[in-house]
Structure formats: C-alpha cells, structure tokens
Structure 1
Amino acid sequence: MVEITDEKGARAWLEMQPKQVCVAMAARIALRGLAALGAADGETSERLVLVVFRAVLVAGASATSPVAQESRLRSAARRAVNADFSGARPAMSAGAISHYAARVAAGMNPTKSITRAISSAVTLEASDPNPTPVISVGSRAVPDAFSAFNQDAVASVEAAESPELLFNEPVWRSVDEPEGLAKGRTSLLRFLDADPAKWDFWARWYRGMFDGQPMDWALQRDVALIPDGVWQAGPAEVAKRVAEIENQFAPIPPEAARAQAQVLLLRPQITVLQANGLRELIDRAVDEYRREVCNQLPDCLQPLENLPVILHQIAETADGDAPMTEKEAALMRILPLMARTISYLNRRLQAAHADKATGDPDKRRLFHDAFYGRLGERSAELITSKTLWGGLLLGATVLLGSSVENVQAGLSTCYESIIKPEAGQERFPPPPPHFPDPFDEA
C-alpha cells in the first residue's frame, strides 16, 4: 500500500515511476496551486496567468501524449520553462509550481523538479509573515496536499490508472480543498470570466481540469504546440489561435450530428457495411506497413490508428438492439469523434509537410527510410494508395454527411499535395460532392 506523507517519501516513490506518471503528478500538483493566481490583478497578472496556464497545460498534454509526439511536446515544455514566471506574491507561488511542472515535462531532472513543485505547493504562503488573506493556505494545507498526492499515487499504482485516467478525477479527489485556496480559485475564475474575449478557453479548461473533466487531449496538445511568438504576443493573440484550433475540433454542430445519426439509422445495413469495410481497410494498411517497413506509423499518420475503434463503435451501434433514441444519442457522440480524428489527421499531415519545407534533414521525409527503399516492390503500398485514401474520403462522406465538407476537402488536399507526391501515385478520385450517396432513394 502506497503511503506518502512527506517530500522524502514522495521523492522515493517518484524515482520508481515512468516519466509520464511523474509529469502527470507534477501537472496535478500545479493544478492545485493555480488558485494562488487569484491574488493577481492588473497588467502583470495577465502576463503571469498566461505563462502559468501555458506551463500547466503543456505538462498535462505531455503526460497524456502518444510516444510519437513526445519530442515536440518536450520542446514545447522547454519553451514554456523559459518564460518569465516573475510576479507579485502570492501569485508567484503558482508560478514556481507551474515552472517546475513544465521542467518535469521537459525532462529536466524530473524527480528534483517535481519535489521542488511539491515543496512550493505545501509551503504556499505558509512562510509569509504577512500572508494575503484571500490566498493564505494555513497549516492544514501541508497534510492535505500530501493526502491528495498520495491518493493519485495509490490510483496510478494499485488501481493501475494511466496518466490520462488520473486527470479524470478531481484534483483534490476526496480531500477538501484548503479554504484559502478555494477563495483564491473563486477570485481567479472571476478574473477569467470578466474578459471572455481573452480568457473564455482558459476558464473552461481550468474548470474542466479541476473537476476531472479535461478537454479533448488532442486539442490540448495542439494548444500546447502553438508557436512561441503567439504566446509572447499575449492573451488576445493566443485566444485567436485557440479559437482556430477549437473550430477544427468541433466540425459537426450538434444538430447536424443528430440529423446524420438519423440518416445512418434509416439504413443500418449500409452503415454497418461502410463502417466495417473502412475499418478492415485501415487495419490492413497499418498492419502491412508495420510488417513490411517499421513497427510504428509516422507521427503524421498516428490518428489513423484511432479510426478503427471509432468505426467499430459506429457499426456496433447501428447493428445493436438498443432503443432508437439510445442509438441516436450514441451516434451523436461518436460521429463528432470520427470527424475530429480525421481533422487531426489532416492537421498532422499539414504540419509534417510544413516541417519538410524547413529543410531540416531529420524531417525530410514523412515515412521511415525503409519505405522509400522498397518503393516499386509493392511493399506496404496500401498506406499511400488511392484505395485507402479514396476509402477514407468515401467513408467520411457517407458516415459524416455533407456538414463536414471542410474535413472531406482536407483529406483530398492532403492526398493530392502530400501523400501522392511521396509515393508517386496517380491523380486522386473526384472530391466528395461527386460521390454517390447510398442513402439517397433510388
């Protein structure tokens, strides 16, 4: 049974944990301390709030990232570490905690950095002879902080919770939030809610992370990878870029998702055939690439691996015995996930294509070198074939409907400008509007 009551015990436990568990623990420590920002106000507070939120978001995104994205997120964490965390007390305490959390994500002496974050958290304002009343933690913060940390540690080991699942719990779990921090959090949320043009995303992000209801992790990772120059331009510019990212993650409005779910359920046999056929095609392409070329897909194609599970859920729902209202509600949840996944695939391909244009020798190709060495041998050719990409486009058209034409057009563009040149394929089939819709009445 894990039992952590002090920094020494925390350090000993952390030294035995995988890196991503350490990063997740550091991020959750920082989330508990964000309330210290509630004492900040004015121009300085805007700068510090953005710097601190960025550091914690990057840490959370790093803790939950697929292996293929670790390098880019580690670089993002290093850039976050280099930001200016200075500010007035007691808000500076939150800056210190988040700074150390970002250092853990950046791989900078993780054990030492996380124990310093713990130290900053448990002594938050405790040593100040004249603590600010709204944020003062009081003596019970130290045992409470370690109790919350210990509960996360128990969950990660004994309940085998992954780093991602840790974030599905409130940051204080069953421990009461110290009164001073609760007051600071109220003040911080009031600050964020007062200027939604700048802080709406961060207010929603903070509430979700605090309550154990995090936003889509792929979305958070894209926010973490916003270029440094945008962060330095301030919260207004960051808000604009975040809005662009969020638009890409919500390609199907709720009413459109409902209408499309109803269309799919009118002809369940066609829905099952389309979903299962595309699932099998993707599985075959991925398995072939792993067998013939490399045991891991390129970073830019990683979202492909998420689609078969989603397609299976669509087929299973359409073919199930549940009441029609339950099926409709299930598809309303699943269809936006499929659209977001394809949208993410498009963005990863576009980002990889942009990386190639920089001339970086490490990013000169999308695929593993072995792929290019075997071109013409019909090895793993399905991953770049018209069969796969035409199937993806047809599947997106049939299963998602006309409300996501931007996603469908993105697939076509990615094939024409990125995939086809890599493998020397012929011209791609016509764009989505030209595909027949099997749901139309004859």
Structure 2
Amino acid sequence: MKLSHKTQWLENLPLSTLQTLMARYALRAFPAIVQRYESTTFHEDHFLKHARSLLSAVCLIAKPSEELRIAAVFAAANARQAGHDVDHSAASLAAVAAARSLVLRRGDEAKHEILSSIETLPFSDFAEQAQWDYGKISSASENPAISHSPLWTIELQHFEAARQIDTPNDRKLQKRLSFWREWYQGFLDGKPLDWELQRRVALIDDTIWDAGPETVAAEIERIRSLFELEQEIANLKGQLTAVQNTPAAALIGDNGGPPLEDAPARAFQTDLALIWKQVEELEEEIAKPSPSLSHLEKIAKALWDISLRMTAYCGSIADGMIREGSKELAKAGAKWTARATAVTVTAQTEGVQSVVKAIGAFVKTLQ
C-alpha cells in the first residue's frame, strides 16, 4: 500500500500506539457514521453494529481482557458484514478497523488495517490531532490518550469539534440512542462513562445484539439501572461504615447525645441494623440471574419506611436542640454532638432514599 502524508509518519510507530491512535481517529469520525438526516431513513441497525465495534475497541484498550477480546472479534465481524446492506463510509471503516486491529493475530495485518483506514479519512484535522495525541502518549508512563483528553484540542479547519450523533426527530429513536449520545459526549469532553459500565455493555450477548434495536436498548437500560443501583448501595454502605466510626454515633445514648431511654433513639439504633440487613438481602437478590420483583419491592418498602422513621428522629433532635438550648446543649461538646448526630441521620436518610429510588428504576427494566 502506498502511503500518503496522512500515514507516512505513522508507519514506524509501535503497534500498541497505532491501535490507540486508531481508536481516537474512529471516535472523531464517529458522528459521520450517520448522515445528517432530514427525509433519509436512519439505519439504526447499521449504526448499532458500528457503535458496538468502537465500544469494544476502546474498552479493550482501556481494560484489556480475554472476554473483551472475544467480544471485539464478533463486534468487528458484524460491523464489517453490515457493509453489505449500507455502503461503508470512512467513519464506518474506522469503527471496524479500531476493533479489528486489536484482534488480528498478525501485527503486520493489524498495522495494514489501521493505515488503510486512516488513508480514507478526508480531513487534515484528523492527522494534526493524531500528532497531538502521539505527543501525549509518548510523554506518559501510562496510556491517557484513549480517555483522559478531549477528542479535539486543536483549532479545526474542516470538522466540528462539538459534533454529536445526529438523529431524526423521532422521540422513541432518540430515547433508544440516549446511551450512545452520552457515551460519545464523554469522549468528546475527555470524561468517558465509567469503564465498568462500558465493559458490561460491550459484553452484551450476541443474541441480544442480533434481536434488534429495541431489545438492545432495553438491555442497555437494564444494565445501566443495575449499575447505578450498585453504586447507590456502595455509597450507602460507605455512609453506614462511616457512621459506626464517628464520635456522634458512639455518643448516641451518652451524656452528650440523645439518651438511650428515649424511644426514638433506641429505634434509630435498631434501624441502623435493619438497613444493613436489607442491603445485604438486596445485594443477594440483584446478583441473581432473574431477580424477584416482589422481593425487590418488599426491600424497597422496608428501606423507605426506615427512612421515614429516621426523618422523624432527625426532627426530634432538632426539637431537643431548641428545648434544651439554655441547658445541656449550651455546652460546646453537646452542641457539636447534637448537630453532628442530626447531620449523620440526614445523610443516612438521603442515602437510603437514593437506594430506594434506584431499586424502582431497576424494577422498571425487569417488567
């Protein structure tokens, strides 16, 4: 293959560097994978195949694993096959090359795939930006270029730096593609979505990808809602652990805090233990291949009821601060303890309610 000025400077670079640069090339070209639709049909299946190919490529670079490599093999093959239905553009060729260059067994074949694809990209902006990327890669001990930098950092002559994926004025279609627009915006800004979330989407089974856009969108929504629920659970567990290690928690029932003989205080301590129990049950349930809707709803109700009791308890602390302002709470230590306890309870309540809302969102994806 005869190389032009676009690729001559790339010819002798290490393959791993070329693979990262190829992924960045493909990301920049990605909005051109679809036309600026007016009356033209949006080829959603064509779009999804190439989005999957590019997703698998960036995940494999960022978090390499054998399961992602296998996913990239199938993703690249399916995207390449999509050319039989819709003509390949430079952008679609780049999305395919980004994945294929990572899974081809021979290095010379992978390099040829990369250079051939880059030759088809029409604008000088791409080469200039890739040179900036190369400088970033060369000066770093790790590989930041795939994620830590915005896609465009140079002044562009031919391309729109903020260009997003174009979709027709179809609300259902826009909703199905909402994940992909957010995913792409993350790379535009140099702040990609959580890699674990991306990895889970990349590993969606072939049977689901082949079942059509509606099925794919539903599975992505399920994966995302489950991921967000897991994050809320982790945040709540962190709060609960912190509470156990704070002076305010230790002083509940001591002279500086609400007395143990106070019924709301005793109920609060009981509820802290109940939250742990419900969270453990929740983690066990969502880990199952087919979580029980009724069990999830039961857990959500139990947690919501606890949050209401905690809100009432927080109110009782505030009342106590007012009533006893001239007595015990006049002491600096007592003031701090009461306030810290109120803040602690408020944080717990918000954390519990966030988990409940996340359970509700996850349950909707299972119905």
TM-score range, shorter chain: 0.5 to 0.7
CA positional deviation for 1:225: 1.2
C-alpha contact 1:197 1:236 (8 A) present in aligned 2? no
Structure 1 residues 182, 209: CA separation in 2 closer, same or farther (over 3 Å shift)? closer
Report SS of the residue matched to 1:13.
Answer: coil
Whole-angstrom CA distance in 2 between matches of 1:225 and 1:258: 25
Structure 1 residues 407, 105: CA separation in 2 closer, same or farther (over 3 Å shift)? farther
- 1:30 corresponds, among 26, 36, 44, to 26
Whole-angstrom CA distance in 2 between matches of 1:252 and 1:80: 27
Matches within 5 A, 1:124-143: 124=121, 126=122, 141-142=123-124
CA positional deviation for 1:203: 1.0
C-alpha contact 1:231 1:238 (8 A) present in aligned 2? yes
Amino acid at match of 1:10: L
C-alpha contact 2:151 2:187 (8 A) present in aligned 1? yes
Aligned to 1:96: 93
Whole-angstrom CA distance in 2 between matches of 1:402 and 1:116: 52
CA-to-partner distance for each residue in 1:80-120, whole Å, 9 max, x for gaps? 1221232656x622111111111012234455445544543
Amino acid at match of 1:176: E
CA-to-partner distance for each residue in 1:5-54, whole Å, 9 max, x for gaps? 64132121134x4xxx4433222111011121241655562122111111
Higher relative contact order (CA 8 A, sep 6+): 2
TM-score by length of 1: 0.50
Matches within 5 A, 1:364-375: none
Whole-angstrom CA distance in 2 between matches of 1:270 and 1:226: 46
- 2:158 corresponds, among 161, 175, 179, to 179
TM-score by length of 2: 0.59
CA positional deviation for 1:62: 0.7
C-alpha contact 2:48 2:213 (8 A) present in aligned 1? yes
Aligned to 1:147: 128
Q: Which deviates further from its counterpart, 207-216 or 38-47?
A: 38-47
Amino acid at match of 2:63: S
Structure 1 residues 31, 240: CA separation in 2 closer, same or farther (over 3 Å shift)? same
Matches within 5 A, 1:62-77: 62-66=60-64, 70-77=65-72
Aligned to 2:143: 162
Report SS of the residue matched to 2:151.
Answer: coil
Aligned to 1:107: 104
Whole-angstrom CA distance in 2 between matches of 1:182 and 1:233: 34
Whole-angstrom CA distance in 1 between matches of 2:104 and 2:90: 22
Q: CA RMSD in A?
A: 4.1
Amino acid at match of 1:201: F
Whole-angstrom CA distance in 2 between matches of 1:154 and 1:189: 31
C-alpha contact 1:192 1:203 (8 A) present in aligned 2? no
Whole-angstrom CA distance in 2 between matches of 1:210 and 1:193: 24
> How many residues are treated as equivalent by the alignment?
263
Aligned to 1:58: 56
C-alpha contact 2:58 2:146 (8 A) present in aligned 1? no
CA-to-partner distance for each residue in 1:377-431, whole Å, 9 max, x for gaps? xxxxxxxxxxxxxxxxxx9x75xx84574224457x79xxxxxxxxxxxxxxxxx
Structure 1 spans left out of the alignment, 5+ residues: 127-140, 272-394, 415-432, 434-439
Report SS of the residue matched to 1:39.
Answer: coil
